[in-house]
Amino acid sequence: MLRTRHSRRWAICLLSLALPAVNAGCGTGPEAAVRPLTGRGGTPATHSTADEQAAGKAALAAYSGYLATSREASARSDPGHPALARFLADPLLTRERVAIRAAKEHGAMRTGRLVSDPTVVSVDLAADPPTVEIQDCLDTTGYRLVYAKDHRVVPGTRGGRYLATATATRYPDGRWLINAGAAHQDQPC
């Protein structure tokens, strides 16, 4: 009985910490200071549809890179994976690293296939800093949290198809990074 209760408690703790980082709640803005975008003479910049499309494309590339790198880092149990910082910014970067580290410390890792179908739902180039909101239908039925030792599925973990949202922010160096995200497991898609 004690072992079962301990196993359940451990599984719940691990599950709460090691869900994909897209489960992280919405965060605040980027840690780096940013300057407002202005046109010549200090007047606010105007943005064309082409600018918005380019921003959306860059944000989707960052989002896809985030998911791919997150899967790779989780499969290797490597919270310090150098590519994470290429696609993520704080606070989501730290949350992702903490989740991977927690899984590793409990002898677990993520494995399998995560299917993503993201779309841009809004682009705000006039915001300070500019942002792009992304909505995704994540299919995690084949993406499992398993014990690294024997690849048994960690009890209490589940997959499914659900809505996920993310925010991409443009940083002063021109990069679009994902800095906030949330999984809405109560909203199937």
Supply the CATH number for residue 105's domain: 3.10.450.240
Question: In terms of DSSP H, where are the helices of 33-121?
Answer: 49-76, 84-87, 92-105
- Cα–Cα separations (whole angstroms), residue 131 to 20, 76, 168, 179: 22, 31, 6, 10
Q: What's the pLDDT score for residue 62?
A: 98
If pLDDT is split at 50, 70 and 90, which confidence band does 21 have?
A: very low
Rounded CA-CA distance 92/179 in Å is 5
pLDDT, tens digit (0-9, with 9 covering 90-100), for 54-112:
999 999 999 999 999 999 999 999 999 999 999 999 999 999 999 999 999 999 999 99
Rounded CA-CA distance 91/101 in Å is 16
Q: What's the pLDDT score for residue 157?
A: 86
Let me know if residue 11 belongs to a domain: no
Q: What's the pLDDT score for residue 89?
A: 98
pLDDT, tens digit (0-9, with 9 covering 90-100), for 122-172:
999 999 999 999 999 999 999 999 999 999 999 988 889 999 999 999 999
DSSP letters for 158-170: ---EEEEEEEEEE
Residue 159 sits in which domain range?
A: 49-188
What does the CA dihedral 29, 34, 39, 40 come to, rounded to 10 degrees? 170
Let me know if residue 24 belongs to a domain: no
Cross-strand bridge partners of residue 72:
none
Q: What's the pLDDT score for residue 46?
A: 67
Q: What's the pLDDT score for residue 65?
A: 98
Rounded CA-CA distance 95/99 in Å is 6
Let me know if residue 39 belongs to a domain: no
> Count of domains in the chain?
1
Let me know if residue 142 belongs to a domain: yes
Local structure of residue 134 (DSSP, 8 states): E
Q: What's the pLDDT score for residue 187?
A: 96
